[in-house]
Structure formats: C-alpha cells, structure tokens
Structure 1
Amino acid sequence: MTVVPPALCLPVIEDEFPRQLHEYWPKLQERTRTWLLEKRLMPADKVSEYADGLCYTDLMAGYYLGAPDDVLQAIADYSAWFFVWDDRHDRDIVHARSAAWRRLRFRLHAALDSPGTHLAHGDPLVAGFADSVARLYAFMPTTWNTRFARHFHEVIEAYDREFRNRARGIVPTVDDYLALRRLTFAHRIWTDLLEPSAGCELPDFVRRNTVYRRAALLSQEFAAWYNDLCSLPKEIAGEELHNLGISLITHEKLTLEEAVEDLRRRIEECITEFLTVEKDALRFADGLADGTVRGKELSIAVRACLANMRNWFSSVYWFHHESGRYMVDSWDDRSTPPYVNNEAAGEK
C-alpha cells in the first residue's frame, strides 16, 4: 500500500476517485521500455534501472481507459518522450546550452509539421518525437492532426519562454506563471488525446461547450498544481524558478508553509468544482443523444472523455507517490535526477 505524506494527502481523491488501470498496462510498460531503448531516448543502463520505477506508463494507463491498445501504446510512448524532453530542456538550462536548445526547438517545430521526414534524424529526441507523432496522426483525421500540431507548437514556444526566464533568473508573477503553466503542462494536448482514446473526433460545438471545457480545464489544473506541490522540494533543491509555490513565495511574499497551504487550497477547489461541473457535463453528453446515429456516437464519446477526465485525478495523484521522479530524498544529489543524461545529446 502506497503511503502518502500528510502534507500531500488528499482524502477526497482516495475516497471519491477510484483508481483504475487499463488492462493493457503490463504490455504497455514492457513495450514503452523497449521503445525508449530502440529510439535511444535513455541510455540502456538508465532504462534498466529507472524506467519502470518512473511509472510513466502507469500514468497513461490510469488516464486513457477504454483506448484501443495501439492508441494507448502511441500515447504512452509520446508521454515517455515528453518526460525525456522535459529533462533535456532542464539540463540544457542548467548547463547553459542555449545554442543546443535553440536547435532542438526549431527541429521539433519542423518534425511536428512533417514527422515522416524526421524519423531518421540524428538527434534521438527529434526522431523519437517524429515517430510518436506520426503514429498519433495515423489514428485521426487531418483536422484533428492540425489542431494537435497547433497546440504543440504553442507548447514548444512556452518551453522556450521558460528557458529564457530561467536563463535570466526571472521568477514569473503568479498570473504570468498560471498562463505559462497551462502551456508547459500541455493542458490542451492531454485533452486532445482523449478523442483518439474514445475513437471519435469531437466537433467544435462539443469541445467549446462551456461545461465540457471547464471540466477539461479543471482536470488539467489539478494535475499541474498538484505536480507543483509535489515537485516543490525537488525544484527548490535544483534552484528552479517555475513553480506556483516559488512564484507565491517570490511575488506574494508568502512563507514556504503559506505557499504550500495556498497550493493545497487551489488544488482542493479544483476537485470540488470538478465534482459539480461533471454533473452538468454528463447532462450535456446525454442531451447529445438526439435519436440519430451521430448523436448517440457523440454522446458515448463525450461520456468516455468525461470519465477519463475523472480518471486523471486519481492517476496523477498516485503517480506522484509511486514515481521515482519525485523521490528527491533518495537521490545522491538532490539537484540532479539520477535518471537524466547530462550530456548535450544530438550535438555530434
């Protein structure tokens, strides 16, 4: 039984959000581990020692319930890539590799628009990204692919803004941080991926519906802010500047204890509001079933997406207490994760 530290414990999650795992999870874990090796995204010794303990596949297997196995596999590989990219971004900042980051940024933009021409790129991070994106694109219509690409171009640029902030020693204000965090956490991307999991591209009038959008945002805000709460010791140790707690301490002059309390309040309000909005969103889903085949299809798909928004709460919660990514007290150097590669990959 996983023991959650009192400062991070959320009884409402443990009581109201039952944890589930996709039945494909054991194979998912094995195949993503193999994919990381084949794509050279992590050194073999680090894959062997750390990959399973990082629980990246657990996070996705707890979120996209009901997804076809091949869709979940593509999402899990993409998610694992995302974590590796996040680590490269961090190491490039720590080691002042601005030229390396700039090259990677432009290469990712290009691979996003044309993944097929980047599958054999010399930088494993670019080639792995192209592979995972090409697989995701294969499941959905061009309209969805274009939307996904637009959203991820924004994520890349947000990562660049964070790079420049950290390089200059800038701690964003609370409002600036919240806006940036929605992009660096890729809120829209994880929400977009609910659709291939449900086997249906949702039309604009559904995705833009007020209660559907609010439920999606709350599930993502919870995840981002809970991540900030759990990451705070790691990021303070690593002299990070981008964390809601750090912004609160710097700009609102809160103590560490007050910042933690503020984070918990925001997190708990997300949960409470989601439980209310979820009911309205389910009524919206039911109303889509208008007696037509298309209406029934949309109603079922929206219900599936809402169910997985709910699953995101429990999956994120338990991930943070099982993944070695957050066990900073067990690291030899609290400022350097043991699973990262500090070399300037892709520069040869």
Structure 2
Amino acid sequence: MQQLLSPGLYCPFPSQINKYVDILEEHAIEWVLHFNLLANESTYKRFCKSKFFFLTASVYPYSNIEQLKIAHDWLSWLFIWDDQCDLSDLGKKPEVLKAIHKRFLEILNGAEVMSHDIPLSHALSNLRQRMLEKVSVKWLNYFLCSFENYLYGCFEEANNRVYGIVPDTDTYIAMRRLSAGADVALPLIELCDQLIIPDFLRKQDIFKQLNEIANNLLGWSNDIFSLSRELATGHVHNLVFVLHYQHKIPLEEAIKRATQMHDHEIQKLISLEADIPSFGEEVDAEFAKYILGIHAWIRGNLDWYSFTDRYKTIEMLELAKY
C-alpha cells in the first residue's frame, strides 16, 4: 500500500515555517507530560514521532509564540483524542463518548475541573484559561460551537462502527467536515494572527464556502495519507475507502479519484477568492489575512505529511480508563 500513496496533491501555496519552531519543539512535550496525556511508553513514542510542533509552526507561520503554544496544545489534544476514538475500543462505544463529550463541553464552558476528571479534561481547563487571556468570551463561545461540531463527528463515526455502516460519498463528505477537526483548526487562525472577523462576515456565503472548501481539503488529504493505517485497523471512514466501496473500483483508482477531487477543490478555492467582494477597507484587510491563513494551513498540512512518521506505522492503543 505504501507504494500507492504518492498522490502528488496539487498545492500552489508557498511553504512557510514559524520563526519560533525550535522554542515550540521544546514546549511540545512539556505540556502533554504536565497533564499526563501520554498514558504509556507507546503513546509517548507515538506523540514524539508525530511532530505536531512542525505542523503547528507550518500552519500558523505568522503567530507569536504564546498564541502558537496554545494552537499547538489544541492540535495535540485533538490528535490524542482522535487516536482514542480511532485506535481503541472507545471508538465503538458511542454512548460512552457522548458522556465524555458532555463533560468536555462543561469544562470549556467554565465548570470547575474535579479530581476524578480525566487528564484530557484537565488539559481543556488549562486551554480555556489561556485562551481567555487572549480572546473575548464571545469569540470563545464561537470557537466552542465549532469544537462541539467536531465532537459530534466523532460520535457519528462511532455509531457507524457499531452498526458496520459505510456511508455513501455525499454523506461521508458531510460527516468528514465535522470529524476532521478543521472546524477547530481554522478558527485558531484568528487567535494566532490576532484577527478580528466581524459577525456579519462570518454569515456571508463566501466566508462559509471558503471554510467548507478548506475543511474538505484538510480532511481529504488526511484520508489519502492515512489510508494504509486505516485499512489495517478496519477504519472505513476514509474518502478513498468510501469511493472504493461505493463505486466498486480498485483502491488505486479510488486514490486517483480522491486526488482529483482534492485538486478540483483547490481550483474552486482559487476561483472563489477571485470573486470576493469588498466589505470595506478594514474588513477586507482582515479577510485577506484570514485567507493567507487558510493557504498556510493547506500547504503546511501537506508539508507535515512528508515530515511526520505518524502514519508510517500501525498500532492499536490500549483504552484509557474513562
């Protein structure tokens, strides 16, 4: 399968790296260890070889160090939770997930963390505190709505696992927008680049469309690069597998179709950007910076796949005690 995965995904945006990448590398392991997020030697090694610090520095190249650390810790948290949902028995226990998700949201909305809360909950409390030093409560509430979408996507995937459902392509694409985590990653552009996106702009169709396209690109590229691992672990929530299964085509052909879909989405993004109307000088300037942030995410994400060893080995995780 490794020989199949050389898709050469199209991306016209330049590679960049944040100047604080070395400082971030030192911070990366300290935070997850402080909150005991790596349960054993296996998860520790898995985290180190994933190199999330490089991903963060690549996708938020303009950020100062404090915001960059917050973004890194959020991405680390998401990947660690994603592994529990995908690579342990927890991913087949949707009702357990629902209860855990409820507690996550309570803590992010200000509930006091308790001694019996799991380490991931303690980490979320820390993230909430640090974010409120940088953003308004209003923006945090917007961010939490996006995070709730991600949790719902994890729950829906678990339901499908229990019942052995392989979704059709359109259903999968809609579900993937939730579970990909892009709804969390893209708002962090605003935090990292200290942008002010007004409410009226968020409600504009063109803003929603740009985010939807970026979300598709991040989810689909991940599906292509993680295919080997997901096939080996029986994970069917993958665009390539869905195309293979629904259209009854060989995996090689499914990879080509997924690659074509990705590249077409890039062209849609570029075309859409050419038609952005003016919303006034100040808003246009902030919107332009946000779009640069989207470009950085698309390019940096692809660069990370060449740097990380996250998808080069296959192992199941022991279920943490929840």
TM-score of the superposed pair, with normalisation by structure 2: 0.90
Amino acid at match of 1:277: L
Displacement, 1:131? Answer: 1.6
1:308: which partner in 2?
Answer: 293
Mapped partners of 1:322, 1:46: distance in 2 = 20
Deviations 1:108-163 (A, max 9, x none): 12222225x12755311111122223322332112211111122222212211111
Report which stretch shifted further, 176-185 or 314-323.
Answer: 314-323
- Tell me the secondary structure at the aligned position of residue 259 of structure 1: helix
How many residues matched? 320
Question: Is 2:246 the counterpart of 1:251?
Answer: yes
Gapped runs of 5+ residues in structure 1? 290-294, 329-333
- Tell me the secondary structure at the aligned position of residue 86 of structure 2: helix
Q: Which residues in structure 2 correspond to 1:118-157 (within 5 Å)?
A: 118=113, 122-157=117-152
In structure 2, relative to structure 1, the CA distance for the partners of 1:221 and 1:97 (3 Å cut) is closer
Question: Is 2:20 the counterpart of 1:24?
Answer: yes
1:8: which partner in 2?
Answer: 7
1:59: which partner in 2?
Answer: 55
Deviations 1:283-336 (A, max 9, x none): 63xx521xxxxx2xx3332222111111112111111222111113xxxxx3x2
1:292: which partner in 2?
Answer: none
Report which stretch shifted further, 89-98 or 131-140.
Answer: 89-98
Deviations 1:76-123 (A, max 9, x none): 1011011000111124437855665344222212222225x1275531
In structure 2, relative to structure 1, the CA distance for the partners of 1:216 and 1:103 (3 Å cut) is closer
Q: Which residues in structure 2 correspond to 1:209-220 (within 5 Å)?
A: 209-220=204-215
Displacement, 1:247? Answer: 1.5
2:70: which partner in 1?
Answer: 74
Q: Which fold has the larger relative contact order, with Cα–Cα distance below 8 Å and residues 6 or more apart in sequence?
A: 2
Report which stretch shifted further, 126-135 or 266-275.
Answer: 126-135
1:331: which partner in 2?
Answer: none
- Tell me the secondary structure at the aligned position of residue 273 of structure 2: helix
Question: Is 2:103 the counterpart of 1:113?
Answer: no
Mapped partners of 1:30, 1:47: distance in 2 = 18
Amino-acid identity (%) = 22
Deviations 1:26-63 (A, max 9, x none): 11121121001111101464576343421212112111
1:344: which partner in 2?
Answer: 320
Mapped partners of 1:299, 1:95: distance in 2 = 42
2:176: which partner in 1?
Answer: 181
Displacement, 1:261? Answer: 1.4
Gapped runs of 5+ residues in structure 2? none
Amino acid at match of 2:318: N
Amino acid at match of 2:202: R
- Choose from 155, 160, 164 the match for 1:165: 160
Displacement, 1:277? Answer: 2.4
Amino acid at match of 1:147: Y
1:268: which partner in 2?
Answer: 263
In structure 2, relative to structure 1, the CA distance for the partners of 1:93 and 1:172 (3 Å cut) is farther
In structure 2, relative to structure 1, the CA distance for the partners of 1:257 and 1:103 (3 Å cut) is same
In structure 2, relative to structure 1, the CA distance for the partners of 1:98 and 1:223 (3 Å cut) is closer
In structure 2, relative to structure 1, the CA distance for the partners of 1:121 and 1:111 (3 Å cut) is farther
How well do the aligned residues superpose, as a CA RMSD in angstroms?
A: 2.4
Amino acid at match of 2:23: K
Amino acid at match of 1:288: G
